[in-house]
Amino acid sequence: MIGIGGSIGSGVFVGCGKGIELGGAWMIFGYLIVGMGMFLVMRGVGEVVLWKSGYE
């Protein structure tokens, strides 16, 4: 499973290179915005999981 994930991840990384080449700095800025949004979503999911489990 780790090998499959590694090969998929590297393929996505190489594929994004073309988009970064065409879009320039705006593409990297877009990745940053989306990454920050996903970080906040995952923090929220973690908060809900801990709240529902009664963890103190």
pLDDT range class, residue 56, cuts 50, 70, 90: low
Identify the band that residue 3 occupies on the pLDDT scale cut at 50, 70 and 90: confident
State CA 33 to chain mean position distance: 10
Give the global pTM: 0.61
Q: Hey, where are the domains in the chain?
A: 2-53
- Rg of the chain in Å (alpha carbons): 16
For residue 39, the model assigns a pLDDT of 95
Residue 25 carries which side chain, given as an amino acid letter?
A
Residue 50 near residue 56 (C-beta atoms within 8 A): no
User: pLDDT tens-digit profile of 9-52?
Assistant: 777 777 777 878 888 888 888 888 998 999 999 999 999 998 88
Residue 46: the pLDDT is: 92
